[in-house]
Structure 1
Amino acid sequence: MPDANTHLPEIQQLAGLMVRSVGNGSVPATTTSLVYLRAGHLVGSTYQVIRHSADLRKAGESEHRINAVATWPDAPYFTEPERAALALTDAVFTPAAPGTERVPEALFTETTKHYDDKAMATLMMTLATAGFWMNVALVSTPDPLPA
């Protein structure tokens, strides 16, 4: 796989803008990492799961919380705002049944109970950024695990 940075040097500027947009402080960094980790589970990106699990460990998160992201609806380790963000992640990264909404109005309404407009915009950008990086990683990372 060719190095995208060599052929598309603008990607570094784009990456920097995306990182700054989701790191504006309106959504806790832990929540952002939980969203990235869950998205990694859903798309089957080992690289993203390992990377964001490591980020959460470095931030002091417990192994219980990190491991429970895979089964978050049944796990008692998450706050209501985190649950809303994880539910939104599941809705965005899981194909909807034909004729149904990917993000139902009820889920959107529930999420807005926990996040103001800026935080909602940040969550949307976090999900978009996760999708962007997941696709890059899935195409360009043949062996994501260290030897």
Structure 2
Amino acid sequence: MHSRLPNPLDLVPELRDLTKALFQTTANGSVPQTTIGLMQLRAGQIVGNTYLTVLHTGGLRRAGESEERITAVASWQDAPYFTEAERAALALVEAVLQPSAHGERVPDALYAEAAEHYDDKALATLAMAIGQVTFYLPLALIGKPLPGRSPAEQWKQAPAA
């Protein structure tokens, strides 16, 4: 079993700088990294991508998150494990990534709820965290890297030049 593509970083070396910049953007200290990890796990679940779900689950485990919190991300609305700030962040990722039957995806009430917990810089960081995970979504869907494997193992070998 192997991915469909070789490592995109080998195919498009400019992606390294972009990846570094995206990680620096979301690690600016305005939002706890745990919150970003929870959001990105939920994003992987919403888009139904095993690679992203396993990747972000592993990151949360390495950060010391409990199995209860990790597991409950899929049903966060009625789970007792999340702070109000984390709930607002999870609601934002769902609003952005899921169509709304009621029109606007991020209504004023949701924005106001998030703004109770996050300042403008943090709200922009939350938006970039959603953008970060969705930036890699096409590579995860098209390239189909192998879940739970190291970067060297998850991509098929590039043909010899």
Output the TM-score relative to the length of structure 2: 0.85
Which residue is 1:109 aligned to? Answer: 112
Q: CA deviation at 1:32?
A: 0.4
Out of 114, 126, 131, the residue aligned to residue 129 of structure 2 is 126
Residue in structure 2 matching 1:138, options 137, 141, 144: 141
Higher relative contact order (CA 8 A, sep 6+): 2
Of 52, 56, 68 in structure 1, the residue corresponding to residue 56 of structure 2 is 52
CA gap of 1:46–1:7, structure 2 versus 1, over 3 A, is: same
Q: Is the 8 A contact 2:51 2:145 kept in 1?
A: no
Query: Could you give the per-residue CA deviations for residues 76-96 of structure 1, whole angstroms, max 9, x where no partner exists?
Result: 000000000000010011112
CA RMSD of aligned residues (A): 1.4
TM-score normalised per structure 1: 0.92
Partner of 1:9: 13
Contact 1:46 1:145 in 2 (8 A): no
How many correspondences in the alignment? 145
Q: CA deviation at 1:19?
A: 0.4
Aligned counterpart for 2:81 among listed residues 65, 72, 77: 77
CA distance in 1, matches of 2:7, 2:62: 28
Find the counterpart in structure 1 of residue 39 from structure 2. 35
Q: For the pair shown, which has the larger CA radius of gyration, 1 or 2?
A: 2
Structure 1 residues 19 and 80 mapped into 2: Cα distance closer, same or farther (>3 Å)? same
- % identical aligned pairs: 51
Cα distance between partner residues in 2 of 1:2 and 1:107: 40
